[in-house]
Each structure stands twice: as C-alpha cells, then as structure tokens.
Copies of this chain bind each other. A is one copy, B any other.
Amino acid sequence: MSTKDKILDAAENFIRTQGFNSFSFRDVAAAIGIKSASVHYHFPTKDDLGEAVTDRYSANILASLEAEGAESTAPAIRVDAFIGIYRGALKDARQMCLCGMLGAEIESLGDPVKAAVRRFFQAQENWLASFLRKTHPEQDDEVARARARSAVAALQGALIMARTMDDHSVFEDVAARIRTGLIR
C-alpha cells in the first residue's frame, strides 16, 4: 500500500474514533512509522487531509452500496446493505461514521471539508429517497425524503449512543425499527 493510502487510513481511523480535532500530524505519522513532515508532503494542510479522507470515504460508501445494494436487488437486501454499512463501523472497530463525526464538529471545520461532509449526507438521503420512491411509487416525494432523512439521522444517533453506552444492543434496537420502517 502506498504511503498516501496509509496516511488516509490512519487519519480516517483517528477521525472516526476521536474526532478531527483530537489528532495531530505527528499522530498520523507515528501510526505508520514516518515523520510528520512527510505527511505534510502528501497533504500540505490538515484541511487538505480532511477533505481527501472525506471524499475517499464517500466514494467507498457509494461503491459499496452499488455493489451490495444495486437497484436490481430485493428491497430488504438493499436496506440491509445500507444499515450494514453503519453496523460494520460499530462492530469492526467501534467507530463512528466519518461524516457523522465531522457533522458534529462541523462548525470547527474548514469550508472544503464542510462541503465534502454535506455532499455525503445529501448522497445518503438521495440513495434512500430514491429507494423509497421505487418501493413506494404511490408516496409523495416529500414523504420519501422525510423518511430517508429520519433513517439516516437515527443511524447516526444510534452509533453515538451505542458507542457511548458501550452496548451494541442500542444500535440493534434502532436498526431493527429503521429496517421495518423502510421496508413496510
């Protein structure tokens, strides 16, 4: 793996566990065995790094939804793929969604990172709303959008609560209700 990718991996991990403002260039460098000046070589400023991590994360999520939850797949499978992305973050490494974390800290971020986080949430809402318009063509677009927003919000909040309470059942309780709410 290239150094650039190692840096992105380490930075993503720091952001998703501790937040954007609680890690330094030195932390990232130490995590992968280089010096902080070398991190600056690949990403001149912390905002550059944050933007790159966020863009890569968004692309990965969308690609994963494309793979596991393509339009041809059955509705229940598609919903499970969507929820599974959030569950995986929690189960694999007790992490937040990258953009859930950055969204909480949004006021302390630079404009490029802010914009990248916005794009992520818009994409999540769009994916779910478009799913709902397909499975419930009789429903108003506004209703689909509201349902989509509610599901994304609940998943983000579920990650916060499950991590805080150190109890995965919090996430599962919320996920189960979202699932039936989206499939119904």
What residues make up the interface of A, taking CB atoms closer than 8 Å to B? 17-19, 21-22, 94, 96, 99-101, 103-108, 114, 117-118, 121-122, 145-147, 149-150, 152-158, 160-161, 163-165, 170, 173-174, 176-178
Contacts and interface: CB of A to CB of B under 8 A. Distances in A.
B157 A153 contact: yes
A156 B161 contact: yes
A74 to B, nearest CB: 24
B146 A173 contact: yes
A103 B149 contact: no
Contacts of A18: 21, 105, 107-108
A36 to B, nearest CB: 19
B163 A157 contact: no
Contact of A21 (B19, B103, B158, B161): B19
Given A21-B22, A22-B108, 7 more contacts: A19-B104, A100-B104, A101-B105, A104-B104, A106-B160, A121-B165, A155-B157
B156 A117 contact: no
Contact of A149 (B104, B108, B156, B173): B173
A175 to B, nearest CB: 9
A153 B153 CA distance: 7
Q: What 6 pairs across the A-B complex have the smallest Cβ distances? A: A153-B157, A157-B157, A156-B157, A146-B173, A154-B154, A18-B108
12 contacts: A96-B104, A100-B104, A107-B163, A118-B164, A146-B173, A146-B174, A147-B177, A149-B174, A150-B178, A153-B160, A153-B161, A157-B160
A48 B150 CA distance: 35
